[in-house]
Amino acid sequence: MLLNLVLLFILYKILDYVIRIPFISNVDRKKIMVTGCDSGFGRLFAIRMANKGVTVFASCMTDDGKKQLEQSSTNIKAFIMDITDVDSVQKAYEFVTGHLASNEGLWGILNNAGFLQQMLGPLEWQSADEFKKVLDVNVVGHHNVTKTFLPLVKRSCGRLAFTSSAAAHFPEPLMNLYVASKHALDGYVSCIRPDLKAFGISSHLIEPGVKRTPMVCQAYEKVDSYEVPDDVTKEYPKEFLEKHAAYVRDVVDGYATPNCDDVLYAFEHALFGLYPRARYSLMLQVKAFMLLPEYALDYIYNHRNSKPQPHLIY
Ligand SMILES: *[C@@H]1O[C@H](CO)[C@@H](O)[C@H](O)[C@H]1NC(C)=O
What are the Cα distances from residue 7, in Å, to 1, 16, 21, 253? 10, 14, 22, 39
Minimal-distance CA residue to ligand 1 atom 8: 86
Calculate the average pLDDT of the chain. 92
Minimal-distance CA residue to ligand 1 atom 12: 84
pLDDT tens-digit series, residues 96-135: 999 999 999 999 999 999 999 999 988 999 999 999 999 9
pLDDT tens-digit series, residues 187-224: 999 999 999 999 999 999 999 998 999 888 888 889 88
Predicted TM-score (pTM) above 0.85: yes
Task: Identify whether the C-beta of residue 189 lies closer than 8 Å to the C-beta of residue 144.
Answer: no
Closest CA to 216 of 184, 169, 263: 263
Q: What stretch of H or E contains 281? A: strand 279-281
Q: If DSSP codes are grouped into helix, strand and coil, which group holds residue 313?
A: coil
- Structural domains in the chain, CATH included, are 27-211+259-299 (3.40.50.720)
Q: Burial-class residue 55 by CB neighbours within 10 Å (0-12, 13-18, 19+).
A: buried
86 lines ligand 1 (CB under 6 A): yes
Calculate how far, in angstroms, residue 89's C-alpha sits from the geometric centre of ligand 1.
Answer: 10
* 171, pLDDT greater than 90: no
82 lines ligand 1 (CB under 6 A): no
- State the closest ligand 1 atom to the C-alpha of 145, by its place in the atom list counted from 1: 14
Minimal-distance CA residue to ligand 1 atom 2: 144
Give percent of the chain above pLDDT 70. Answer: 96
Q: DSSP H helical segments within 224-260, as ranges?
A: 238-255
136 lines ligand 1 (CB under 6 A): yes
- State the closest ligand 1 atom to the C-alpha of 83, by its place in the atom list counted from 1: 14
Closest CA to 178 of 209, 135, 221: 135
pLDDT tens-digit series, residues 124-158: 999 999 999 999 999 999 999 999 999 999 999 99
84 lines ligand 1 (CB under 6 A): yes
Calculate how far, in angstroms, residue 140's C-alpha sits from the geometric centre of ligand 1.
Answer: 7
Helix orientation angle between 40-51 and 63-72, rounded to the nearest 10 degrees:
20
Alpha carbons 267 and 265: distance in angstroms, whole number: 5
Alpha carbons 302 and 296: distance in angstroms, whole number: 10
Mutate to test the pocket of ligand 1, among 144, 185, 188 (most ligand atoms within 8 A of CB): 144
Predicted confidence at residue 314, as pLDDT, reads: 44
130 lines ligand 1 (CB under 6 A): no
Residues ≥6 apart with Cβ < 8 Å to 67: 78
Q: What stretch of H or E contains 111? A: strand 108-111
